[in-house]
């Protein structure tokens, strides 16, 4: 995978920088029936009111079910695919014990033919191995971190994301999240060795507003360009009001809406 700057044949391609995906598989014969088409909510609630600004449903996308199970398995990576819903790639795996296919989030450096192992007891550490935090050495880079020992991943799931184990004892471990926040988790939680794939996704340039609109992102309008009824900055007044949100809350001078909690 490498970044490519396109030739400026049109104005939309003048500033576009994309990531080549020639190493990804295009064959989708396996698990074809599990792919479902769905429209995402356009930032509205069931009553029609806007709950998330600058969002819309976008085009119809095919949802591929990805497994985050903590049940023990030994699987073989068959191929790496592109997922239109996620920023990271996904892998198609074959369970050697149950003889079934399933998908997981791809990791950096994981190639077809690699072995994936999930077990509560692991003696060796390789990319793609999933086990409990008590089995991992301090300083390890992990991803797909789960809490409450359930079959869901809560932290380090985006492309290029990883968490680091800073400190561990008999019962708890200090984990540094991608947001630089340090949390305390039980050693019975599961995590995967390695970094999520497609870490260069933040280096691409869409080149035009239409490409961003296809991803479900609507234009962002300045407050001074609105009417006075829509925003406190509206009416194109020359000034006289400090920067604030559409609901009148200050947005500068270190104003904090949320109270900081220290979980350590």
* Residues recorded for the chain: 264
- In this structure, are 167 and 233 located in the same domain? no
Whether pLDDT at 264 is above 60: no
What is the structure's pLDDT at 239?
A: 64
Is residue 210 included in any domain, yes or no?
no
Q: What is the pLDDT of residues 39-64, one digit of tens each?
A: 777 888 888 888 888 988 888 888 88
Pairing of strands 141-143, 163-168: antiparallel
- In this structure, are 171 and 263 located in the same domain? no
What is the structure's pLDDT at 148?
A: 79
Is residue 147 included in any domain, yes or no?
yes
Q: What is the pLDDT of residues 78-101, one digit of tens each?
A: 999 888 888 899 999 999 989 989
Is residue 214 included in any domain, yes or no?
no
Is residue 206 included in any domain, yes or no?
no
Q: CATH no. for residue 139?
A: 2.30.30.30
What range defines the domain where residue 178 resides?
Answer: 3-201
Cβ(149)–Cβ(190) under 8 Å?
yes
Q: Which of 24, 20, 59 is nearest to 203 (CA)?
A: 20
Is residue 7 included in any domain, yes or no?
yes
- In this structure, are 46 and 148 located in the same domain? yes
What is the structure's pLDDT at 200?
A: 87
- Cα→Cα distances 174→118, 151, 165, 171, Å: 22, 21, 6, 11
- In this structure, are 197 and 262 located in the same domain? no
Q: Which residue has the higher pLDDT, 205 or 1?
A: 205
- In this structure, are 173 and 239 located in the same domain? no
If you average pLDDT over every residue of the chain, what do you get?
86
Give the number of domains in the chain: 2
Q: What is the pLDDT of residues 149-166, one digit of tens each?
A: 777 888 999 999 999 999
Is residue 73 included in any domain, yes or no?
yes
Is residue 247 included in any domain, yes or no?
yes
- In this structure, are 104 and 8 located in the same domain? yes
Share of the chain above pLDDT 70, in %: 95
What is the structure's pLDDT at 37?
A: 76
Whether pLDDT at 199 is above 60: yes
Q: What is the pLDDT of residues 218-251, one digit of tens each?
A: 999 988 888 989 888 888 766 678 888 888 888 8
Is residue 228 included in any domain, yes or no?
yes
- In this structure, are 76 and 123 located in the same domain? yes
- Cβ partners under 8 Å of residue 45, min gap 6: 51
Q: CATH no. for residue 242?
A: 4.10.950.10
Q: What is the pTM of this model?
A: 0.79
């Amino acid at each position: 995978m490498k970044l490519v700057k396109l030739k400026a044949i049109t104005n939309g391609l003048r500033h576009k920088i994309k990531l080549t995906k020639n190493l990804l598989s295009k064959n989708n014969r396996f698990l074809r029936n599990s792919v479902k088409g769905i429209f995402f909510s356009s930032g509205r609630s069931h009553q029609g009111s806007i709950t998330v600004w600058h969002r819309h449903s976008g085009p119809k996308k095919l949802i591929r079910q990805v497994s985050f199970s903590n049940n023990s398995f030994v699987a073989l990576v068959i191929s790496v695919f592109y997922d239109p819903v996620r920023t990271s790639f996904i892998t198609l795996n074959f369970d050697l014990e149950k003889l079934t296919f399933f998908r997981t989030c791809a990791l950096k450096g994981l190639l077809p033919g690699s072995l994936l192992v999930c077990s509560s007891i692991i003696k060796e550490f390789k990319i793609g191995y999933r086990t409990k935090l008590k089995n991992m050495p301090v300083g390890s880079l992990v991803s797909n971190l789960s809490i409450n020992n359930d079959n869901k991943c809560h932290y380090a799931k985006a492309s290029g994301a990883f968490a680091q184990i800073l400190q561990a004892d008999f019962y708890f471990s200090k984990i540094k999240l991608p947001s630089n926040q340090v949390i305390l988790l039980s050693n019975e939680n599961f995590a995967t060795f390695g970094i999520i794939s497609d870490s260069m996704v933040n280096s691409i340039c869409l080149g035009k507003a239409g490409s961003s609109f296809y991803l479900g992102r609507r234009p962002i309008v300045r407050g001074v360009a609105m009417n006075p009824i829509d925003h406190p900055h509206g009416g194109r007044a020359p000034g006289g009001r400090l920067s604030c949100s559409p609901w009148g809350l200050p947005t500068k001078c270190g104003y904090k809406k949320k109270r900081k909690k220290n979980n350590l």
